[in-house]
Structure 1
Amino acid sequence: MNPKQLLVGVLIGTRPEAIKQAPLILEAANNFPRIRPVVICTGQHRELARESLSDFGISIDVDLDIMQQGQTLSYILSSIVQKLDNLFEKDPLDAILVQGDTTSTLAGALAGFHRHIPVGHVEAGLRTYNLEEPFPEELNRQLVTRAALYHFAPTQSAKDALIRENISPDKIWVTGNTVIDSLNYIASDTRCAAPSCLTDEFLRQPFFLVTCHRRENRGEGISSVCNAVKRLLQAYPEISCVFPTHPSPYVRQPVLEHLSGINRALVTDPFEYSKLVWCLKNAHFVLTDSGGIQEEAPTFGTPVLVARETSERPEGVTAGCARLVGTNEDLIVKECSRLMDDEVAYASMANSANPYGDGTAAHSILNILERNLT
């Protein structure tokens, strides 16, 4: 008799979740015939998530479609929990995989917990222990930890954090980060090419990549980053800046106000993931507050300057491939200038090993999940 097929929900709310959950969906389809992934999109960031999934050829099985203009965190959380509860009542799952620390992630963990569905937390154990940085993600992931049964930590330090919180070590596995799986998949694809907005003329000189979107950086933080960019472009006429902006008006509008009309500053819409990967691979360095980019850029030997006061990814700083610069304008200019002027300092960061995995995280997670659900 054939063993029972396992229905495993894979929850996706935002673009980073789509990118980091995609390898699990592909790996299940290709190498785990007993696991049937059910792709559930909450709609928290509807179009960005859909576009990212399309990069991997993945279609959505269930669309909760909760996105509305001016949505609050409370609306997102309550809407997803209710819609998932209705779904789980009708179509029970054997497990649900949630990723990271978004409001969708928390909603999925709560809904699964309420229905006694085992919750697997992908990218478990990241911590700053400052509930304001990042907000609301730090609280989200701490709460998800309490609701989850299986904890897939990307690094040993993440596992150590969970053990300090009295999570049983036999429910924690160090798997690496699935984003490296995604990166390897996309980097080998023919679609990994320069975005069309980067013309041959623009690419005649080097560029640095900037992204800034976190809630705690809105307002003064984004202004400081933009002012630093202007100073760098004035000081170094041999380099340009590419700044893809989040569609949120709280992010996009101030960036446009500061950088529109500035020579060699290219402010763009968000890139498809394959185009972003090309930029990470070819940028001279990256200035970002993104967690995913902190993990991705070191694969290509691209130095990362982190525009945050603290990071739940200390491994990159320890390994030497990342450096915290916060949103202090003078410090950003100083550290970017160091990468422009000091070849030894640049090489030290560029040659550091990526501490976030070897591209086999999805296989490890599904193997563990299948064993534990059998």
Structure 2
Amino acid sequence: MSDIRTLAVVYGTRPEAIKMAPLIMALRREETLDVTTVNVGQHRDSLMLVPSVLRMGDDQKFSISQDGLSLTDISTRAWRTVSRALDRSGCDAVVVQGDTSTALCGALAAAYAHKPVIHLEAGLRTGNPASPFPEEMHRKLISGVAGLHLAPTKTARANLVREGVPPSDVQVVGNTSIDASRIALEAWSPERSAIPADLLVEGRDLIIFTAHRRENWDKMEDFSRLLRRLATRYPQIGFVLPLHPNRLVTDVLRLGTSHLPNVRLLGPMPYDDMMKLLTRARVVVTDSGGLQEEAAALGRPTLVIRDTTERPEGIEAGVAALAGTDVDTIEKLVCTLMDSPEEYRRMACPSTCYGDGRAAERALRAIVDFMAGSR
């Protein structure tokens, strides 16, 4: 019997592709493993904005994306697609990442085919099934079928153990988003960058604002009002809004803020450009999980515009604050950071609370040991 074991790595969205990339790099260097990548295409052109240094190539590539699909439609297409891809791959185990529909369907398809499931970024929990929806539900379902849980933090591990996952099945490895951001920043080039030059002027302060989560869709008009007030109060600050592809989100923000001279609305950005902008940000206001992690590593004070977060480590470390979604509260917190040097210095400290850039290396060792024991 061959000593080479085959892993199918399944992803379908840009965040998955980015967070999987450092792990795929590590897996491909391992002589005992053969890796096949399956891009389900949950996001149309999901790899278009992934910099070349993080593009791992798709051994099997599909496109299930279509405008107007319901969550049920997406999951049905993803499940069918992954099932066929796994049949073709003849893999011994399946790796999924995070909490997308692709991740859930990849895990279930593997479980139905009696293939071990390895879950990268396991154990994140808010404790609220409706926030984020459907991600919180997806995470718990994946945990129910996974054989190896690669938790990013000790808190995530504790969540899994509390739910009954055997401690021996959980390994704390860190978050590969930190690995990916370091790789992207090292490879960033001004010649290839799409960032407007005026946003990179030395000494110019920026506030980055992003909002895209389903539970915030009905708050976009409130957020537009918030941005108008802040942009008027701080005319010397550049407010940068990297817009989400979802028109339900972007149209309201565009209509409410595009007339302001110090507000810059940018289309979906290449990941390396986004990381470069993040290094120039004075404050980050976001509902994005990935940005919470990356901003913490770079020491950028972050206000999380959600009522709950599955990433409490940044708040505990003091580099982030849970601002909620009330615009008056958010405004006060932004103003405090802008007007109080002492408060700003308190939060502007780089932290390894989400990882130290070596998560892929630890995940590889855990996977090699797991595969050796699953023969």
When normalised by structure 1's length, the TM-score is 0.95
Name the residue aligned to 2:10.
11
Q: Deviations over 1:47-105 (max 9, x none)?
A: 13343163414211111211112111111111111122222233321111111111111
State the alpha-carbon separation in 2 of the partners of residues 197 and 279 from structure 1.
8
Contact 2:10–2:40 (Cα < 8 Å) also in 1: yes
More off after superposition, 110-119 vs 46-55: 46-55
Contact 1:192–1:277 (Cα < 8 Å) also in 2: no
- Name which of 21, 31, 52 aligns with 1:54: 52
Contact 1:186–1:192 (Cα < 8 Å) also in 2: no
State the alpha-carbon separation in 1 of the partners of residues 270 and 136 from structure 2.
27
Name the residue aligned to 2:230.
232
Q: For 2:231, what is the secondary structure of its paired residue?
A: helix
Contact 1:319–1:355 (Cα < 8 Å) also in 2: yes
Contact 2:209–2:285 (Cα < 8 Å) also in 1: yes
Look up the equivalent residue of 1:13 and give its one-letter code: G
Name the residue aligned to 2:185.
187
Contact 1:325–1:331 (Cα < 8 Å) also in 2: yes
Name the residue aligned to 1:338.
336
Going from structure 1 to structure 2, the CA distance change for 1:185 and 1:352 (only over 3 Å counts) comes to: closer
Q: For 2:46, what is the secondary structure of its paired residue?
A: helix
Going from structure 1 to structure 2, the CA distance change for 1:14 and 1:323 (only over 3 Å counts) comes to: same
Name the residue aligned to 2:306.
308
Runs of 5+ consecutive residues of structure 1 not aligned to the other structure? none
Q: CA deviation at 1:228?
A: 1.2
Q: CA deviation at 1:312?
A: 0.3
Look up the equivalent residue of 2:11 and give its one-letter code: I
State the alpha-carbon separation in 1 of the partners of residues 19 and 188 from structure 2.
20
Runs of 5+ consecutive residues of structure 2 not aligned to the other structure? none
Q: CA deviation at 1:365?
A: 1.0
Q: For 2:330, what is the secondary structure of its paired residue?
A: helix
Q: Percent identity?
A: 37
Q: Say whether residues 1:151 and 2:155 are aligned partners.
A: no
The size of the alignment, in residue pairs, is 371
State the alpha-carbon separation in 2 of the partners of residues 101 and 12 from structure 1.
11
Q: Deviations over 1:155-209 (max 9, x none)?
A: 0011000011000000000100011110111111133789534233784631111
State the alpha-carbon separation in 2 of the partners of residues 284 and 185 from structure 1.
22
Q: CA deviation at 1:314?
A: 0.4
Going from structure 1 to structure 2, the CA distance change for 1:260 and 1:55 (only over 3 Å counts) comes to: farther
Name the residue aligned to 1:348.
346
What's the RMSD between the two structures over aligned residues? 1.7
Name the residue aligned to 2:367.
369
State the alpha-carbon separation in 2 of the partners of residues 193 and 320 from structure 1.
36
Look up the equivalent residue of 2:361 and give its one-letter code: H
Q: CA deviation at 1:240?
A: 1.2
Look up the equivalent residue of 1:112 and give its one-letter code: A
1:289-308 residue pairs with structure 2 within 5 A?
A: 289-308=287-306
Q: CA deviation at 1:226?
A: 2.0
Contact 1:298–1:321 (Cα < 8 Å) also in 2: yes
Contact 2:99–2:135 (Cα < 8 Å) also in 1: yes
Q: Deviations over 1:298-347 (max 9, x none)?
A: 11111111010100000100000110112211111101101100111111
Contact 1:194–1:278 (Cα < 8 Å) also in 2: no
More off after superposition, 75-84 vs 121-130: 75-84
State the alpha-carbon separation in 2 of the partners of residues 199 and 361 from structure 1.
33
State the alpha-carbon separation in 1 of the partners of residues 113 and 314 from structure 2.
37
1:1-374 residue pairs with structure 2 within 5 A?
A: 4-29=3-28, 31-52=29-50, 54-191=52-189, 195-200=193-198, 203=201, 205-219=204-218, 221-351=219-349, 353-374=351-372
Look up the equivalent residue of 1:216 and give its one-letter code: E
When normalised by structure 2's length, the TM-score is 0.95
